[in-house]
Chains A and B, each alone.
Chain A
Amino acid sequence: MATKKNNTIKLKFDSTRNLAPAPESKSAAKIEPQYDLFINGKFEKPQNKKYFATINPATEEKLSMIAEANTADVNKAVVAARTAYDKTWKKMPPAERAKYIYRIARMIQERAREFAIIETLDGGKPIRESRDFDVPTAANHFFYYAGWADKLEYAFPNRRTEPLGVAGQIIPWNFPLLMAAWKIAPALACGNTVVLKPAENTSLTALKLAEIIQEADLPPGVVNIITGAGTTGAAIVNHADINKIAFTGSTEVGKIIQRAIAGTNKKATLELGGKAANIIFDDAPLDQAVEGVINGIFFNQGHVCCAGSRLYVQESVFKEVVRKLKDRLETLIVGDPMDKNTDIGAINSKAQLDIINKYIKIGQQEGAEMYQPSCAIPKKGFYCRPTIFTNVAQSNRIAQEEIFGPVLAIQSFRTDDEVIEKANNTPYGLSAGVWTDKGSKIFNLTTKLRAGVIWANTFNKFDPTSPFGGYKESGYGREGGLHGLNAYVNII
């Protein structure tokens, strides 16, 4: 193997660094062989008696059978939600409402380990992430919004609020439990009732949440959780007695929803796709920046709408950053999501793996230079090596389109103005990252980047108190924090 003359030493990442397996146990979680629809406080069979399989993407083994809700089931859920809204929930003293939501938060915390295991089995994300991020953040979200229920008059200066009514909520497969929390918690706190549909690939933790909601004695119908695919979602969107649609998912589907509800008075919040720029200036702490880039694009296998999928590196440190990135890629552990050492787990589905592989091919065809580490990946299950592309042009599809996988497109820049222009040159505007040691430069960048969340010298941080949501085609409305209340009230 020819070696190029290089003043830096090529690091060796061989067998000496292999860690012993540290698998989490499946036995701490209970998955039923079959799940029904959670309507009006009870688990009910779907009217057409249809069920579909949900599998573990890491092994392709079947985990359970999930009910498929049709239009009649959706209608039943909406009727239950409307009845609960009129008869119970909107009349309940806000402080009492709060206590129910607190109760849900506590019960998630109590069963955190079980939730983490199921999340990882059903979705393929590393257990470290579901244990340390998804589940605790979901519980915290309920805890945070619970406290708002009886304090809403402080949130909107000089105005009163009223709830919207019944909220139809459709959530994606990348953070199943967390997205359910993001949707349900503020809706309940503001006095709305809910019909929620998880993504068809990842219904299990939402159904586990339904068990908790039942156990918490929440009045029947306040939260209804129904499962199914796109047609079930469409039935929610098109139901005449729903007042609000909250959707997290692709920009493509978001636009379909915006059109579908055009002739109605339904309100909507849309949290859609992204193609975030992560920008490294030459004065940045490079090791930390590289760590941030890795976290930015490989967190949750890159199935993150705000993933830092475009990297812009200032020319003078370009080579160094790329070398450090490649070194770091070699140390990433790709494989069994249930192993506590795993950094990158399984791709969520075969369909998503196909999309990612399609883009990897497109990137190469468009002339970009691909690099993947040499790590082994399991034979069974859906896996993708962490992938970076250099020699990328701004017009390349891998730099323009959301891939939703562990694929990073790297470009260089010289001046601040140039990188602002490039970073903003996208229809999306969800998030962005800036790495520099210079405070004034941070604020120059953070004010000029047209995106809803800007991480400076960090990336992919989330908190219940921190509003999240996009500019431009990344959607509208905010989730989290004070501003997240806006999505679930009429200001009067």
Chain B
Amino acid sequence: MATTEKRLEVLKTYKIYIGGQFPRTESGRYYVATNSKKENLANVCLGSRKDFRDAVVAARNAFGGWSGRAAFNRGQILYRIAEMLEGRKTQFIDELIKQDATRTQAENEVNLCIDRLIYYSGWCDKFQQLFSSVNPVASSHFNFSVPEPTGVVAAIAPQGDSLLGLVSVIAPIIAGGNTCIVLASATKPLCAVTFAEVLNSSDLPGGVVNILTGKVAELVPYFADHMDVNATVFCEADAAIQKLIKEKSALNVKRVVLYDKVKWANASGQSPYFIMDLQEIKTTWHPIENIGGAKAGY
């Protein structure tokens, strides 16, 4: 039964990703993502304050489990994300091309993202050793300092590209045991949503990464002043928004990390120092008994 009619393509509904689920925005709002040819690419969720707050709840709930996992296990899961991305490469390349990339650019971007995930997978159980210390205190105590994740991170992904910035920001955050809410590029949101599908099939527990789509100017105040968020990440050079983030972050002494000078496509776009940007240092003391010594250990 040959037919000359072209098969009707099934279009994808682009959703947001909260707590391991793919809801549409609770606000019911949308915006149309377009490319330079003014083609309509998708009706994308115009995420709301409530979406963000739901995502924070999911991220906070996921934090204990994720930060408590073995570092080795986190490494395996990041590796798994890379595997899944590799398997769905063509889908990402197609989306990047729709969003104005050339084929070569698109291929390079996806390859770099996969490699970057592998890179951070390897760091998961190594950066702690590099940035820890045993401190030779003068009293009779054993004393050591280790990095621990800051907590729930609200990040606004680099707005200039669809996938590379997003992956480069998320990977060090979760490699270090944090959970996050990430706002995708507003103009190129397609890959972020598809990347959420990759995350969802990678054994990454729900809530560790939550991805929203929407407008930076609308959502950034909520990212910065939520009382249950421990840090904000912003990657653009917009001085007014930087100031607003820093001011609002003071409400609960959030750590503010600015990546406005990072070139994500370069080798300098990855390093364990990105992981350390969202780590706290915890120092633990314990007395050493001094058997037969003149001094008590306490």
Q: A263-B243, A467-B145, A475-B253 are in contact. Are A456 and B280 (CB under 8 A)?
A: no
Inter-subunit contact A251/B139 (CB<8 Å) = no
**Which of A251, A469, A471, A491 gathers most chain B CB within 10 Å?**
A471
B residues 9-66 near A (Cβ < 8 Å) are: none
Chain A 128-169, CB within 8 Å of chain B: the 1/0 string? 000000000000100000000000000001110000000000
CA gap between A261 and B139 in the complex, in Å = 39
Inter-subunit contact A476/B282 (CB<8 Å) = no
Q: How many A-B residue pairs have CB under 8 A?
A: 121
Contact residues in A for B215 (Cβ distance below 8 Å): none
Contact of B285 among A157, A259, A450, A461 (CB under 8 A): A461
Indicate whether B216 reaches chain A with its CB closer than 8 angstroms. no
Contact residues in B for A467 (Cβ distance below 8 Å): 133, 135, 145, 281, 283
CA gap between A468 and B272 in the complex, in Å = 22
Inter-subunit contact A466/B143 (CB<8 Å) = yes
Distance (whole angstroms) from the CB of B224 to the closest CB of chain A: 10
Indicate whether B141 reaches chain A with its CB closer than 8 angstroms. yes
Whose C-beta in chain B lies nearest to the C-beta of A272? B253
Contact residues in B for A491 (Cβ distance below 8 Å): 273
Inter-subunit contact A255/B250 (CB<8 Å) = yes
Indicate whether A59 reaches chain B with its CB closer than 8 angstroms. no
Q: Residues of A within 8 Å of B, CB-based: how many?
A: 49
Chain A 460-482, CB within 8 Å of chain B: the 1/0 string? 01010111110111111010011
Inter-subunit contact A472/B230 (CB<8 Å) = yes
CA gap between A461 and B280 in the complex, in Å = 20
Distance (whole angstroms) from the CB of B199 to the closest CB of chain A: 26
Chain B 275-298, CB within 8 Å of chain A: the 1/0 string? 000001111111100000000001
Inter-subunit contact A262/B251 (CB<8 Å) = no
Chain A 406-448, CB within 8 Å of chain B: the 1/0 string? 0000000000000000000001000000000000001000110
Chain B 230-254, CB within 8 Å of chain A: the 1/0 string? 1000000001001110110111110
Indicate whether B1 reaches chain A with its CB closer than 8 angstroms. no
Contact residues in B for A391 (Cβ distance below 8 Å): none
CA gap between A482 and B35 in the complex, in Å = 49
Contact of A255 among B251, B281, B283 (CB under 8 A): B251
Inter-subunit contact B137/A465 (CB<8 Å) = yes
Whose C-beta in chain B lies nearest to the C-beta of A295? B298
Contact residues in B for A442 (Cβ distance below 8 Å): 286
Q: A466-B143, A478-B281 are in contact. Are A472 and B252 (CB under 8 A)?
A: yes
**Which of B133, B246, B282 gathers most chain A CB within 10 Å?**
B282
CA gap between A267 and B287 in the complex, in Å = 35
Contact residues in B for A270 (Cβ distance below 8 Å): 253
CA gap between A463 and B140 in the complex, in Å = 11
Contact of B255 among A159, A262, A292, A476 (CB under 8 A): A476
Distance (whole angstroms) from the CB of B140 to the closest CB of chain A: 10
Could you list 23 A-B pairs, sorted by A, with CB under 8 Å? A256-B250, A258-B250, A259-B247, A262-B244, A262-B246, A442-B286, A446-B282, A452-B282, A452-B283, A453-B285, A454-B283, A456-B284, A461-B141, A463-B135, A463-B137, A463-B141, A463-B143, A466-B137, A467-B283, A471-B150, A472-B253, A474-B253, A476-B255
Return the 3 tightest CB-CB contacts between A and B, nearest first.
Answer: A262-B246, A258-B250, A463-B137
